[in-house]
Amino acid sequence: MDLWAAIKRNRHLVVGRAGIDLFTDPGVALEDAQTVNLGLGGSAANIAAGICKLGGKASLLTCVSDDGIGSYCLDQLVGYGVGAEYVRAVAGENRNSLALYESRVEGHRSVIYRNGAADFQMDQSDVQRVDFDRFSGLITAGTVFAAEPSRSAAFHAMERAHQAGLPVIFDIDYRPYSWPSAEMASRVLSRAAEQSDVIVGNDEEFAFLGDGLSSARGLARNERLVVYKMGPKGAVTFWQGEEIRTGIYAVEAMKPTGAGDSFLAGLLTSIADGHALKSAILRGSACASITVSRPGCAPAMPTPQELAAFLSTHPGPQTG
């Protein structure tokens, strides 16, 4: 498998949740809010939307609730250009995830509702319906592994992707509230990382898998691309024995949410557009900065024109 050639085809299957984001007006605390804004959320849905907004193609593999919330998520996915042909509606008491958060950085609070999550109902039959020959890569975020039958289905999707010659792109995305225990999370996410060709995570997530930067460096073998994000200190990317250090584009952030999803979308689409690895990383960082400076997650992710305008007017990347 040629990792670079596969990413450049820019047609991804994204596995994981779609949900609803409710967020306050800029600077407003939850207890002071008289109204809230509504948008598409969920890491996998955000990544897929970000890819499509930047000119790539993506389909989502997940389950949504068979109600108005699920219908909203489906409509939003289609509106962003995300393929929903592998999204299954489930009846009963399972519901889409919901995030309620403040559009502010200082004192930022976020509440996630994940009880009886519909996306955890994805099973191996959903994976069997997928025509993997249509895609150039499989993207998954860590939350999809937090419960059954979604966990087994996600690992089955990784197996089928490898059988089809597709790279597996893994955003660690460790969310403690989704897991029954930290020990199980560490064991399962480590297994997923070992089966992936691209691994992206922040310093806390790599520390959770072992020893932070050392863990990231240790995973960067066998033609595996690893991106170790360090917040305001930038990132270290490991590829073919090289360590690439990059900074961030400093902005006045409105909120901290959505940065990682936007970064991954920007990184992959920039590689597909022919940018060298370091340039693609920086463009992903610029996408993250744009997203945290605007309301919402999927709605805040940039288009190619917005990314170009940002890069043409913004000072160069900085390290913390």
Residue spans per domain, the chain: 3-313
Task: In whole angstroms, give the CA distance from residue 188 to residue 70.
Answer: 28
User: Global pTM?
Assistant: 0.97
* pLDDT confidence of residue 243: 95
Q: Which of 108, 97, 92, 113 is nearest to 46 (CA)?
A: 97
Distance of alpha carbon 26 from alpha carbon 254, whole angstroms: 7
| CB contact set of 291 (below 8 Å; sequence gap of 6+) | 258, 259, 261, 262, 297, 300, 301, 302
Q: Tell me: the pLDDT tens digits for 20-52?
A: 999 999 999 999 999 999 999 999 999 999 999
Q: What is the DSSP string of 245-269?
A: EE-B-----S-STTHHHHHHHHHHH
Q: What percentage of the chain reaches a pLDDT higher than 90?
A: 89
Tens digits of residue pLDDT in 71-122: 999 999 999 999 999 999 999 999 999 999 999 999 999 999 998 999 999 9
Residues 237, 157: Cα–Cα separation, whole Å = 26
Residue linked to tokens 């108005």: 68
3-313 is a CATH 2.60.40.10 domain? no
Q: What are phi and psi of 272, to 5 degrees?
A: -60, -30
Q: Which residues pair with 13 in a beta bridge?
A: 59, 138
> What integer pLDDT is reported at residue 171 of this predicted model?
97
* Spatial separation of the C-alpha atoms in residues 39 and 277, rounded to whole Å: 31
Q: Is the dihedral of CA 305, 308, 313, 317 positive or negative?
A: positive
